[in-house]
Structure 1
């Protein structure tokens, strides 16, 4: 996945905003909270970081091309960085980005989710 494809996909998720920060990283947020970061790679390769469930974190952190996200995981947060091949294919990466968006959105207040039009969507997913 290229950064253009990553940005297009993250932008297609509901109630997202984009900001370029932290030295040029492509940061995507829902309700003001980060759910995906594209960047932090020095060699020009695409690096994509996303939040995971506890179980997904335990599984993914051992996979080739994936690792606990620098900085974030060292602080006890469950974030994975896709940094090299083989990593995840594009479809798998999209699934984890979608799940990261959902996890972060669920952490927002009910009022904020309602303001963003996410409340009904997330309630349907939980059922």
Structure 2
């Protein structure tokens, strides 16, 4: 099942700890501890937006089909066109995005979510 579909997105990212989903900004939004870590746009092509580290940002945005995410004021958010990365790589970057955002949560909240 492709992570670029809503059902694949929910199944893959739902397996990560403490994840909730909401529909907002014309996208399916994955959050951890109430903070966004990944989005899948409603409109085709279903672009995925996620947070990455500084080195990954530079590498990813050099690839065709991957750009700095619009509407995200801070650097290190990328928007990925379907097919720009294999699903396994995209899932790994989504898991890393989850870890980056979760690391910014309080220890108490991480413990409550089971991701301490």
More relative contact order, 1 or 2 (CA 8 Å, 6+ apart): 2
Deviation of the 1:118 alpha carbon: 1.0
CA RMSD of aligned residues (A): 1.3
Q: Identify the match of residue 13 of structure 1 among 13, 16, 19.
A: 16
Deviation of the 1:40 alpha carbon: 6.0
- Could you say which residue in structure 1 is the equivalent of 2:114? 117
Runs (5+) with no aligned partner, structure 1: 120-127
TM-score by length of 1: 0.83
Say whether 1:68 aligns with 2:68. yes
Runs (5+) with no aligned partner, structure 2: none
Q: Name the larger-Rg structure.
A: 1
Query: Structure 1's 15 and 84: CA in aligned 2 closer, same or farther, altered over 3 A?
Result: closer
Equivalent pairs counted in the alignment come to 113
Deviation of the 1:77 alpha carbon: 2.9
- Could you say which residue in structure 1 is the equivalent of 2:81? 83
- Whether the aligned pair in 2 keeps the contact of 1:49 and 1:82 (CA below 8 Å) is yes
Runs of 4+ in structure 1 deviating by more than 6 angstroms, as ranges, are none
- Could you say which residue in structure 2 is the equivalent of 1:105? 102
TM-score by length of 2: 0.91
Greater helix content: 1
